[in-house]
Amino acid sequence: MNCIIIEDQAPAQRILKKYLEDLGTIELIAVFSDPIEARNFLSTTPIDLLFLDINLPKISGISFLKSLSFKPQVILTTAYTEYALEGYELDVVDYLLKPFSFERFLKAVDKVQKPSEKQESPENSEALKSDHFIKIGYDYVKIDLSEILYLEADGDYCHIQLPDARHTSSEPLKKWLEHLEGYHYPRIHKSFVVNPNKIQKISGNMVYLENGAELPIGRAYKEDFLTKYLK
């Protein structure tokens, strides 16, 4: 299991790092003070657990959580109790009130669903079904989500490119990211989401797919995308 920390206070960062190090079973892969940087990171990199401070610069932790298309399991951390109810309404794992002890930290972590448990759960199996129906005019056409080459945003619409067809959905790209939850298709540009299994080559700021399509890599997404997929 891996995790990231979004926390703008250095002392709180150090405490969480120490507790995770002492625990030894959860890999910390990144720490962010800036929630916008964290959001860009999460758009291309799937994680299991997020430690999220509520009082952040630029955007609150609650608003940040609501903005995510792919939601990892979340443990909120804050010095204020008034956000507890709203946090639980967002289905967070637990709510750690600062300052918290290692014992309280352990209690929260013990509630986290392990990746193997998620894989075996009926809810997760349902989310990863390949078949999805898309409305085209008055008809509903079945597509295989695993065969999608890429998605392209077009205002309130979204183009879905398959190996042998291209469909236009009346749902925006944000909604399609929800449909694709669990597939971990990275967003490489504000307008493009790509199936990494269909990538043939990456050169400069371009992604080349097996069907000959060439897609741009946005500057805001490039570092996280290349770090994740060019290991």
pLDDT, tens digit, for every residue of 186-224? 899 999 999 988 998 888 899 999 899 999 999 888 888
Distance CA(91)–CA(173), nearest Å, equals 24
Look up the pTM and report it: 0.51
pLDDT at 13: 94
Q: Which pLDDT score, from 0 to 100, does residue 82 have? A: 60
Per residue in 77-109, pLDDT tens?
Answer: 988 766 555 555 667 888 888 889 999 999 999
Task: Give 161-178 pLDDT, tens digit per residue.
Answer: 999 999 999 889 988 988
What is the Cα–Cα distance from 188 to 204, expressed in whole angstroms?
A: 13
Q: In this structure, are residues 153 and 168 in contact, taking their beta carbons and an 8 Å threshold?
A: no
Q: Torsions phi, psi of 178, nearest 5?
A: -70, -40
More confidently predicted of 179 and 163: 163
Task: Specify the pLDDT at position 114.
Answer: 72
* Pair 194, 153: CB distance under 8 Å: no
pLDDT digits (tens, 9 = 90+) for 37-55: 988 888 888 889 999 998 8
